[in-house]
Amino acid sequence: MINAKIIGLGGYVPEKVYDNAYMESIVDTSDEWIVRRTGVKERHISADNEYTTDMATIAGRKAIENAGLTPEDIDLIILATVTPDYFTPSCACVVQRNLGAVNAAAFDYNAACSGFVAGLIIAKQFIQTGTYKNILIVCADVLSKATDYEDRATCVLFGDAAGAAVVSASEETGIMTTDMGADGTGAMSITSLAYRNDEEEIEKRVAHRKDTVWMAGQAVMKFAVKAMADASQKVIDKAGLTWDDIALVIPHQANYRIVDSAIKRMGITEDKVFLTLEKYGNTSASCIPVAFNEAVEAGRIKKGDKVVLVGFGGGLTWGAALLEW
> What is the binding site for ligand UT7 (CB under 6 A)?
29, 33-34, 37-38, 113, 152-153, 156, 190, 215, 217-218, 220-221, 224, 254-255, 258, 282, 313
Whether residue 316 is preceded by a cis peptide bond, meaning omega within 30 degrees of 0, is yes
SS3 annotation, 198-267: CHHHHHHCCCCCCCCCEECHHHHHHHHHHHHHHHHHHHHHHCCCCHHHCCEEEECCCCHHHHHHHHHHHC
Q: Does 252 qualify as catalytic in the annotation? A: yes
Q: What minimum distance in Å lies between the beta carbon of 259 and ligand UT7?
A: 10
Q: What minimum distance in Å lies between the beta carbon of 287 and ligand UT7?
A: 8
Cα–Cα distance measured from residue 311 to residue 286, given in angstroms and rounded to the nearest whole number: 10
Cα–Cα distance measured from residue 39 to residue 141, given in angstroms and rounded to the nearest whole number: 20
Q: What minimum distance in Å lies between the beta carbon of 41 and ligand UT7?
A: 13
Spot the catalytic one: 255, 282, 287, 293.
282
Between 189 and 293, CB nearer to ligand UT7: 189
Between 29 and 128, CB nearer to ligand UT7: 29
Spot the catalytic one: 91, 139, 252, 287.
252
Q: What minimum distance in Å lies between the beta carbon of 257 and ligand UT7?
A: 7
Cα–Cα distance measured from residue 147 to residue 65, given in angstroms and rounded to the nearest whole number: 32
Specify whether the CB–CB gap between 145 and 83 falls below 8 A: yes
| Residue 40 CB burial class (10 angstroms; 0-12, 13-18, ≥19) | buried
Specify whether the CB–CB gap between 308 and 246 falls below 8 A: yes
Between 24 and 73, CB nearer to ligand UT7: 24
Residues with Cβ < 8 Å from 97, sequence gap 6 or more?
A: none
Cα–Cα distance measured from residue 63 to residue 216, given in angstroms and rounded to the nearest whole number: 35
Between 215 and 307, CB nearer to ligand UT7: 215
Alpha carbons within 13 angstroms on the beta-carbon side of residue 321 total: 25
Q: Give the residue among 176, 174, 145 at the shortest CA–CA distance from 159.
A: 145
User: Closest CB to ligand UT7 belongs to which residue?
Assistant: 217
Cα–Cα distance measured from residue 198 to residue 94, given in angstroms and rounded to the nearest whole number: 30
Between 93 and 290, CB nearer to ligand UT7: 290
Q: Does 113 qualify as catalytic in the annotation? A: yes
Spot the catalytic one: 91, 93, 113, 287.
113
Between 89 and 217, CB nearer to ligand UT7: 217
Q: What minimum distance in Å lies between the beta carbon of 273 and ligand UT7?
A: 16
Catalytically annotated residues: 113, 252, 282
